[in-house]
Amino acid sequence: MSVKMNLHPFLNDGVELQLEIEGKTVGECLNNVIKRYPAMEKKLFAKKGELKGYVEIMVNSKSAYPNELIHPVNNDDVVSVLVFLAGG
């Protein structure tokens, strides 16, 4: 499966990324992104292999919460990896 993935600029040191990436689930897609951009791992994942609390995954504009990493994806799905803002 090949999906279109948009990554928030924070995840790539200020550069917004739009990628074509392979994977059958969101988790597989993210692992493939990390293979290309290893520095993203620390920004995406906590120590336990869980997504960081500020990461929001949208698949075709719908939240993939709560089981984002096993959320299935299909060809041409659009996966957006966003970050929550909460400061005031």
Residues within the interface to other proteins (CB under 8 A): 9-10, 14, 16, 43, 52-54, 56, 63, 65-66, 83-88
DSSP 24: S
CA distances 51 to 7, 41, 57, 62, 82, Å, are: 14, 10, 10, 17, 12
Is the CB of 53 or the CB of 72 nearer to other proteins? 53
How near is the Cβ of 57 to other proteins at its closest, in Å?
Answer: 11
Is the CB of 1 or the CB of 83 nearer to other proteins? 83
* 3-state SS class at 28: helix
DSSP bridge pairs for 18: 6
How near is the Cβ of 19 to other proteins at its closest, in Å?
Answer: 18
